[in-house]
Amino acid sequence: MNKIVKIALIVIGLIAAVLWYLLPPADMPAAEAANNGALNAMFWMTFILLGIAVVASLAFSLINLFSNPANLKKTLFVVVGFLIVCGIAYVLADGTDVSVPEMADRGIETSETTIKRIGMGINIFFILTVIALGAMLWGGVRKATK
């Protein structure tokens, strides 16, 4: 399996090198360069490789997660904790976290739900920052007292 992956990577690298050589010159207008076959092929190769990487990482993560019940229990605690933080952040969002006229001037939707979600995101950031700082301080204090 390892040899097959190495050979596939060498082939992909050679194809990418050939496509790199076939890219349009820098002085070509962007509208014409966007229709270049080599450029489009490089984009497709990037999307395919990114898709393979995402599927592989998700598959191996899920296999590792479900292979150990202790890991699954910890993951469920973290997910439930995050959902609780999201709920608290949504309740704390009062709808005045952003400037409505400025959002309207930029063409962004200014409904109450959108503004409340933006406030929720800001609150989640602050809550998680406080939790991270608290965890670092707790770890430092525990280490210093031992």
Q: What's the rounded mean pLDDT across residues 4-17?
A: 89
Dump pLDDT digits (tens) for 42-52: 889 999 999 99
- Which of 103, 96, 101, 84 has the alpha carbon at shortest distance from 122? 96
| pLDDT tens-digit series, residues 57-106 | 999 988 988 888 888 899 899 999 999 999 999 999 887 767 777 777 88
Contact assessment for residue 129 and residue 137, using Cβ atoms and an 8 Å cutoff: no
Please choose, from the candidates 127, 134, 133, the residue with its C-alpha nearest in 3D space to the C-alpha of residue 92: 127
Listed residue (67, 49, 65) closest to 8, CA to CA: 49
Judged by average pLDDT, the poorest of 4-8, 31-35, 58-62 is: 31-35
Structure tokens at 76: 């469920």
Closest CA to 49 of 19, 2, 16: 16
pLDDT value of position 97: 65
- In this prediction the pTM is 0.59
